[in-house]
A and B are shown apart, each in its own frame.
Chain A
Amino acid sequence: MLTDSLPENRQDIVFITVILLPLIILVGILIYLPAVDSLIVSFTNENLRIRRLPKFIWLENYSKLLENSEFWIVTARSLLVVALTLPLELLISLGLALLLTEVFPGRAMVRTLVLLPWMLPPIVNGFLWGWLLNGEYGALNGLLYQLGIIDEYVTWLRNPDTQVIWVAVVQTWTRFAFPTIILLAGLQSIPKDLIDAAKVDGASSWQSFKSIVLPLLMPSFAIALTIEFIAAFQIFDVIWTLTAGGSAGGAINPFTKTLMLYNYELVFRDLRIGLGAALSYLILFLSLGVAIVFVTRLYNQAVKS
């Protein structure tokens, strides 16, 4: 064999290269090449509605977006969705993970059921909730009316402020299973001896949770937080199906327009490809910035401690 004659560490390099090369080529072609291409497009005035050769305008698209009040409004709304979704989602996930780590009859079935909303496409969840919340014949009104909680049917999605809250609720419903799995895995990796030892030393359940479980769970928590931040910040499907409207003319509900919907509007409805590509990069930088903060601050610190 050719590799037999090479020093051991060079053999390793050759082996790793041979194994990784097809993957690198594939990822390069399928991900990085289009990404570089769209970066180039973001520096042009490409607009499919206008039959002209795209011209390089360099950072003009970026400055146009940053000077546009609509960009800041939709960014703030995206952050609001994150602020409403993340605490709700992580609280539910933590509670469920703690519950599912315990041994009880039917645990396997409950674990499977927890996964169900996550297994459904977000579009299905969006439509499903749209029907549940319908003011004329929605199941939520029916239930609350029969329980005597409401006197008359409520149009839940009528008010723009409540629309955003419902978006957060449906996003939580759609996504909570994923952080639950991550936290459950994290919980199961905590040595039981530590908790038993704390019990022997007279620690209460709350003290064990606060001083042992929570610190050891922080790396998993940081991962869940990062992934769910990106999912909520880049929310699209749930809003599209629940409140976006999307009439034949392509109108988008301005009260739940977040960054990804704004991006859809620029690229697919208005065909401003250059401007839309620039917005995609701004979304990427914003997501990346927050993800780096989460990972460096939370994950690395938690691992160190």
Chain B
Amino acid sequence: MRSIINTLVSILILSLIPVTLHAEKITFLTPSWGIPPDKALLESFQKESGITVEIQSVQNKDLFSRTQIAAATGQSPADVIFLTQEAPSNLVAIDMMRSLNDLQAKDPLENDLTGQEFWNIKGEQFGVPVYAQLVMMDYNTDRLKKAGFNSPPSSWSELNRMAKKLKSSGIDKHPIAMKASDWSWYLMALSMGDPMFDNDLKPVFANKGSKSREAMRMLLEFFSEELISPEIVAGTVNQHSIFWSGTGTFHQGWQGSIRVGNNAEKSKQAPHVSYMVLPSVGNTWSFPAAIGIAKYSKNVEASWKFIRWYTGKANQKSIYKAFGLYPSRASVAAELNGEGLVDGYSQILAQSKKVDELPRQALWWGPFTAKVSEQILTAVQTGSDSDKTVDKIAAIWNELKSEYE
């Protein structure tokens, strides 16, 4: 009997050893670009803190559904969650994330951390910014010169004319790399100077003669005239991969996209890619990312330590170097610029002064923006009228608004 008890006690002690060795283990749910790119850096964090980080990489849309379903059943899909710009509506506004106010009060964030307000809803902070991105455009300077243009377009109609010349002269079969989706329309409408929504969240984009209507008409024309590759409509490629594979002169990019575009290992457009400040009025919107803690996480302290490391200088630098994602900490951006690593810094600075944010914290923004993409794709595929498409989008907005408000 004693030997049996001894054996059982030994098994129990042995089974407890791994628990004590790795006292704290957290899970991190993220899309692929949120995985810390510098493995050695992550290893050293784990070693120093004693926290083991288990990374679960999923597609962005799966990240939302996993978090939503888990939170609905009162569980945590992971401790730490990477929050992309759709997260305020898809996760934060629907109470899936934990407020970080108490943790921040004990351990304040650095003063140079920009974009915190995007993740602050009704006074509660739900995410610590990781990168601060703006939707931008870049272009191939060499091709534009070949077509006889010395500077980028200053209006959308000029861009349209340039694209047609590039196509007709055989320089570029499909000169515009934009997607048949919500983003392309927002980009063009904001850039043309339309605010799209007023302060009461009324869809002013549907007003008669609005710039948004003009933007939709022009976007659909880009597709019907095949200034944008039909392969994008087929959905087998996106605007970035097609541009970097060599098709396209104008590309919907982001802060940092020319870093990839001018990397000869990744892009056939290298080394001719340069930013342009958006045409016409030139407004854009941001698509920042943050990192937060799931509502039902039981490892809050360890998760906070990881978040502090993740948004620290070293990791932000390695993220920029790997993906060209612009750091949320001003001091890191300045250091990178000082090292000569930020390409097109002056254009980025000029574009950052022209930002008109979209109401992405509205509870219904997630389903709305998905429906916008579906309406645009339908219009592209069926040749529908641009005004009717805008009217349909406005009807969707009003229906969702009345349901959720």
B57 to chain A, nearest CB (A): 15
A281 at the B interface (CB under 8 A)? no
B60 at the A interface (CB under 8 A)? yes
Among B1-9, B98-106, B363-371, the one that faces the other chain is: B363-371
Chain B 239-267, CB-CB to A under 8 Å as 1, else 0, gives 00010010100000000000000000000
Q: Which residue of B lies closest to A245 (CB)?
A: B235
- Residues in A270-299 with C-beta less than 8 Å from chain B: 270-271, 273
With A135-B230, A247-B179, A251-B377 as given contacts, are A268 and B69 in contact (CB-CB < 8 Å)? Answer: yes
A157 contacts across to B, CB distance below 8 A:
234-236
- Residues in B288-331 with C-beta less than 8 Å from chain A: none
A246 touches B61 (CB 8 A): yes
With A135-B236, A136-B231, A268-B68 as given contacts, are A249 and B182 in contact (CB-CB < 8 Å)? Answer: yes
Q: Which residue of A lies closest to B90 (CB)?
A: A250
A270 touches B367 (CB 8 A): yes
Chain B 68-90, CB-CB to A under 8 Å as 1, else 0, gives 11001000000000001010000
| Complex CA–CA separation, A254 to B181 (angstroms) | 12
Q: Which residue of B lies closest to A46 (CB)?
A: B72
A173 at the B interface (CB under 8 A)? no
B234 touches A252 (CB 8 A): no
Q: Quick one: which of A50, A130, A243, A251 contacts B374, CB cutoff 8 A?
A: A251
A158 contacts across to B, CB distance below 8 A:
230-231, 233-234
Q: Quick one: which of B86, B363, B367, B378 contacts A254, CB cutoff 8 A?
A: B378
| Complex CA–CA separation, A182 to B370 (angstroms) | 42
Contacts from A to B (Cβ < 8 Å): 48-51, 130-131, 133-136, 155-160, 243-255, 268-271, 273
A252 contacts across to B, CB distance below 8 A:
370, 374
| Complex CA–CA separation, A245 to B181 (angstroms) | 10
A97 to chain B, nearest CB (A): 34
B237 touches A134 (CB 8 A): yes
Chain B 344-388, CB-CB to A under 8 Å as 1, else 0, gives 000000000000000000011011011111100110011000000
B236 touches A133 (CB 8 A): yes
Q: Which residue of B lies closest to A256 (CB)?
A: B235
- In the complex, 20 of the A-B residue pairs with CB atoms within 8 angstroms, ordered by the A residue number, are A130-B236, A135-B231, A135-B234, A155-B233, A156-B234, A158-B231, A245-B377, A246-B59, A246-B61, A247-B179, A248-B84, A248-B86, A249-B86, A249-B373, A251-B181, A251-B370, A252-B370, A254-B377, A271-B94, A273-B72
Q: Quick one: which of A136, A244, A269 contacts B245, CB cutoff 8 A?
A: A136
Q: Which residue of B lies closest to A157 (CB)?
A: B234
B169 at the A interface (CB under 8 A)? no
B64 at the A interface (CB under 8 A)? yes
Q: Quick one: which of A48, A135, A250, A270 contacts B61, CB cutoff 8 A?
A: A250
Output the residue of B181, B231, B247 with the most chain A CB within 10 A. B231
Q: Which residue of A lies closest to B365 (CB)?
A: A249
With A48-B94, A50-B404, A158-B233 as given contacts, are A269 and B377 in contact (CB-CB < 8 Å)? Answer: no
| Complex CA–CA separation, A219 to B80 (angstroms) | 54
Q: Which residue of B lies closest to A155 (CB)?
A: B230
Leading 5 A-B pairs by shortest Cβ distance: A251-B373, A157-B234, A268-B65, A250-B370, A158-B230
A155 touches B231 (CB 8 A): yes
A-B contact count (CB 8 A): 106
| Complex CA–CA separation, A245 to B237 (angstroms) | 10
Chain B 181-212, CB-CB to A under 8 Å as 1, else 0, gives 11000000000000000000000000000000
Output the residue of B59, B72, B245, B373 with the most chain A CB within 10 A. B373
Q: Quick one: which of A249, A269, A271 contacts B181, CB cutoff 8 A?
A: A249
| Complex CA–CA separation, A245 to B60 (angstroms) | 13
Chain B 112-149, CB-CB to A under 8 Å as 1, else 0, gives 00000000000000000000000000000000000000
Q: Which residue of A lies closest to B287 (CB)?
A: A248
B370 touches A269 (CB 8 A): yes
B95 at the A interface (CB under 8 A)? yes
Q: Quick one: which of B93, B247, B367 contacts A269, CB cutoff 8 A?
A: B367
A249 touches B369 (CB 8 A): yes
A51 touches B234 (CB 8 A): no
Output the residue of B230, B364, B372, B374 with the most chain A CB within 10 A. B374
B230 touches A247 (CB 8 A): no
A243 touches B235 (CB 8 A): yes
Q: Which residue of A lies closest to B363 (CB)?
A: A49
A247 touches B373 (CB 8 A): yes
Output the residue of A134, A136, A157, A251 with the most chain B CB within 10 A. A251
A269 touches B235 (CB 8 A): no
A134 contacts across to B, CB distance below 8 A:
231, 236-237
A160 touches B236 (CB 8 A): no
Q: Which residue of B lies closest to A50 (CB)?
A: B404
B242 to chain A, nearest CB (A): 8
Chain B 391-405, CB-CB to A under 8 Å as 1, else 0, gives 000000000000010
Q: Quick one: which of A160, A251, A269 contacts B182, CB cutoff 8 A?
A: A251
Give 20 A-B pairs besides A247-B373, A251-B377, A254-B374 with Cβ atoms closer than 8 angstroms: A48-B68, A48-B72, A49-B93, A49-B364, A51-B94, A51-B95, A133-B236, A136-B231, A155-B234, A156-B234, A158-B233, A244-B235, A249-B181, A249-B369, A249-B372, A250-B370, A251-B182, A253-B235, A255-B378, A269-B64
